[in-house]
Amino acid sequence: MCSAMGTGTSLGTRNRRYLYLQAMGIQAWELRRPQTEAHAVGHQVVRTQETDNPSIVEAPEGPAVVDLDWTPLQTAVETCTLCDLHSSRTRSVFGVGNRNADWLLIGEAPGRDEDQQGEPFVGRAGQLLNAMLLAIGLQREQVYIANILKCRPPNNRDPKPEEVVCCEPYLMRQIELIRPRLILALGRIAAQNLLRTETAIGKLRGRVHQFRDTGIPLIATYHPAYLLRSPGEKRKAWQDLQLAVETLRERA
């Protein structure tokens, strides 16, 4: 069971949560159950076999990772030259966190700080993500965090479809190894690629999808970097997190 759930809420915990909510720019009264879009539709799981993305391309030859365990998988990423991004990266960014996590968070791709440090979600966006997690009672170390791409696109441009296809087997193998109980897609790029759709993130968030044919619930929300630029959307991100917690609780 997720440690975020089923525990009593002490005064200290409430105070700490209040501080984290403040960090997220969310007023404390939002601790009450939000009326999410999913609630409005009876919390129905939306099976998004959305394959309306015309930009999906076939990989000429993907990495052979099917049977790899963690160490050889990480080595494969660190030495990967399957797409052009290998030539401009400082370091690949494999992923970090609890390899037995209930929660798998998937973002877009490394940025400048991540490329330098080799870890996803560092810098200001990472700090906000940590605050978001703490607001639902999770330490960063309790979840696993990865990206769609393991190497930084130059100037933080959007990933190209062929790069996503080349890199996807690594992420799929990580998902197989972790076997998370829930996937949280952070941002448009992650949500659209995982769900294979071009639907806008504003329409993907706020409901429970299913990750392809795995049965794993997937919830999409805004990327922390976007929330830093658009703090008015933090309330919706908070609702998405609440929906994720409730989804796990219902499936416990």
223 exposed, middle or buried (CB, 10 Å; 0-12, 13-18, 19+)?
buried
Angle (nearest 5°) at CA 205 between 147 and 188: 40
Q: Does 91 bind ligand SF4 (CB under 6 A)?
A: no
Q: Does 68 bind ligand SF4 (CB under 6 A)?
A: no
Residues numbered 143-182 forming contacts with ligand SF4, rule: CB under 6 A: 149-151, 163, 166-167
Q: Does 108 bind ligand SF4 (CB under 6 A)?
A: no
Q: Does 245 bind ligand SF4 (CB under 6 A)?
A: no
Token code pair at residue 225: 């970097």
Separation between Cα atoms, residue 60 and residue 230, nearest integer Å: 38
Separation between Cα atoms, residue 135 and residue 121, nearest integer Å: 17
When binding is defined by CB under 6 A, the residue of 2, 83, 241, 244 that contacts ligand SF4 is 83
Q: Does 82 bind ligand SF4 (CB under 6 A)?
A: yes
- The nearest distance, CB 118 to ligand SF4, in angstroms, is 12
When binding is defined by CB under 6 A, the residue of 77, 194, 204, 245 that contacts ligand SF4 is 77
Separation between Cα atoms, residue 246 and residue 41, nearest integer Å: 14
Q: Does 73 bind ligand SF4 (CB under 6 A)?
A: no
Q: Are 149 and 167 in contact (CB under 8 A)?
A: yes
Q: Does 184 bind ligand SF4 (CB under 6 A)?
A: no
Q: Are 46 and 209 in contact (CB under 8 A)?
A: yes
Token code pair at residue 128: 């906000």
Residue 240, CA atoms < 13 Å, CB-side half-sphere: 30
- The nearest distance, CB 187 to ligand SF4, in angstroms, is 17
- The nearest distance, CB 185 to ligand SF4, in angstroms, is 18
Interface with ligand SF4 (CB under 6 A), residue total 14
Q: How many CB atoms lie within 10 A of CB 251?
A: 11
Q: Does 114 bind ligand SF4 (CB under 6 A)?
A: no
Cβ-based nearer residue to ligand SF4, 165 or 191: 165
Select the span of 9-17, 42-50, 79-87, 219-227 touching ligand SF4 (CB under 6 A). Answer: 79-87
Q: Does 92 bind ligand SF4 (CB under 6 A)?
A: yes
One-letter identity of residue 196: R
Cβ-based nearer residue to ligand SF4, 35 or 79: 79
Reference 37, options 223, 205, 206; nearest CA is: 206
Site residues (CB under 6 A) for ligand SF4? Answer: 77, 80-83, 85-86, 92, 149-151, 163, 166-167
